[in-house]
A and B are shown apart, each in its own frame.
Chain A
C-alpha cells in the first residue's frame, strides 16, 4: 500500500466508497482510497461483460483481496464502454494508484442529471469521519 490517504476534489463520490470522474457524457469509475485500504491488496477484479447496462447504485462487478470479496457499486447509470485491462491483469494497480492507473471501468452516462445526487470530496470526507 504505497499511497497516502487522499480524496481528490475533482471527483464525485458514492457513499459505498466508489468514485466517478465525469467527462462530458462519459464517466470513469473506481474505488476510493478508503475502500482499497479496507480490503487490502487486491488479487482479483471481476469486470462486467461487454455492453452491460449498469444502473445507478447497482453492482457492476467485484474486487477481491486474499481475505474478502467486495461488490462494486456504480455511482451512476450508463452503458459500459471500457474495462481497465491493466487492473484485470494486475489488480494491485488499484492499491498503488486508486484514482489514476487503478480506474476500473468507463461508462456512457444514461442520465447526466444523476451527477447532482453524488457527494463531493468534502461531503465524502465528512462521511468517513462519522463512520
Chain B
C-alpha cells in the first residue's frame, strides 16, 4: 500500500473534523462542514484552502528566463519583478504537460507553482531541458501554501488592494510570507506561501480572522463555475492549448516547444473545442459521459450558485457555439443541456456607485 503524504496542516484538518481523502498521493480534506456551505462562504465572504500539496519549483541562473521562455507558452519577457503569469508547459504537439503560475522573483530567479499530481513530471521535464546558466530545483517540501479567497478576503487579512497576478513579501499577524494575488475560485483573494514550519500558525491566524475552512470539494465546484480547467480532467498532454481555449496564454509570436503545431491548429481552426454547458433538466454531468454528436464530458458537478448540473467537455467545433442544444448520456438516460459562454457563473454586476 502506498503511504499518503500529509501537509503541515494535517493535524489542523483532523481537529476540525474534516473528511480526509486521497488526492494526487496526498491525504487531503475534501470537506469540513460540507461542500455547499464552504462554496457559498467563498462566494459571499472568505474561505481558506490548504493547497500545500501543490508543487513549487525554482529556476535560477543568468539564463533562467531564457529556459522558461523556451519551455512555457506565455511570454515571460512581459513579467517584471513582483509579477506573475498563468502559463502552460507544452509538448511538441502543443499538448499540455501542466498548467501553472510562474512568478518572477528577480531577473535571474523564478518560482513555478504547479499541480500536485505533476510535481515530479514537471521537475524532470524542466531538469532534462536545462541549459547552461539555468538550474532547476524542487523546493516543494520547504513551503506550505494557503489560498484565502472570497470578496472579503483582503479586508479580513487587512491587506490593501493590489493588481491580480502581482505578489510581494509581507506578513500576516507577524508571520512572514509571500502574498500572491492569485487563486482558483474566480473571487478576489491571495495565495500565501509560507515556510512549512510556520504554516499551522498562519492557518490559525487566518481562521481567527474569520475565514471559513474549505476543502477540495468546494475548490472543484468553485473552479468549475468559473471554467478554470483542471489538468488531468479538462486538459492534458493529449489536448492542445488552442482546442482547450487557452490560446490567450500562448504567445504565438515567440518560440517555445509546440509553438509551430499550435500556430497550425490556430490557423486551420481546431476540430474540437472545450466548451462550458449547463443542464436544462435535473441531472448531474460527470467526467467521461458521452455527449451526442461525438462529445465527452471532462468535468461535471452540481453548481451551488446556479443549483443545477454544469460541466466542461470537448465537442466537435460545429457544436461548440453558445446556445447549442446538447444531449448528455447520464448513465443511459438522455438529458438536455446547452452550451453557454464562459464563465458559467459570474457575480451579478452591482449598480455603479453602490458598494
Per the 8 Å Cβ criterion, residues 14-63 of B in contact with A are: 30-31, 34-36
From B31, B284, B333, A64 is in contact (CB under 8 Å) with B284
Number of interface residues of A (CB under 8 A): 13
Question: Main secondary structure on chain B at its contact with chain A?
Answer: mixed
B residues within 8 A CB of A64?
A: 284, 302
A residues within 8 A CB of B301?
A: 66
Complex Cα distance, B19 from A1, in Å, reads 14
Tell me, yes or no, whether A127 is within 8 Å of chain B by CB. Answer: no
Binds B, one of A10-18, A24-32, A37-45, A109-117: A37-45
From B35, B309, B331, B333, A67 is in contact (CB under 8 Å) with B35
Evaluate contact between A66 and B286: CB separation under 8 angstroms.
Answer: no
Q: Measured between C-beta atoms, what is the minimum distance from B196 to chain A in Å?
A: 29
Evaluate contact between B282 and A66: CB separation under 8 angstroms.
Answer: no
Q: Measured between C-beta atoms, what is the minimum distance from A72 to chain B in Å?
A: 13
Tell me, yes or no, whether A122 is within 8 Å of chain B by CB. Answer: no
A residues within 8 A CB of B31?
A: 40
B residues within 8 A CB of A69?
A: 284, 286, 331
Task: Tell me how many residue pairs across A and B have CB atoms closer than 8 Å.
Answer: 37
Q: Measured between C-beta atoms, what is the minimum distance from A50 to chain B in Å?
A: 15
From B221, B283, B333, A66 is in contact (CB under 8 Å) with B221
Complex Cα distance, B282 from A41, in Å, reads 16
Q: Measured between C-beta atoms, what is the minimum distance from A4 to chain B in Å?
A: 14
Evaluate contact between B284 and A40: CB separation under 8 angstroms.
Answer: no
B residues within 8 A CB of A62?
A: 331
Q: Given that A66-B217, A66-B221, A67-B217 are known contacts, is A40 also in contact with B34, CB under 8 Å in the complex?
A: yes
Residue of B nearest to A62 (CB): B331
From B35, B283, B333, A40 is in contact (CB under 8 Å) with B35
Told that A40-B34, A44-B284, A46-B282 touch, could you supply 13 new A-B pairs with CB distance under 8 A?
Answer: A1-B34, A40-B217, A41-B35, A43-B36, A43-B284, A43-B302, A46-B333, A62-B331, A66-B36, A66-B217, A66-B304, A67-B35, A69-B286
- What is the interface of chain B, defined by CB distance below 8 A to chain A? 30-31, 34-36, 217, 221, 282-284, 286, 301-302, 304, 309, 331, 333
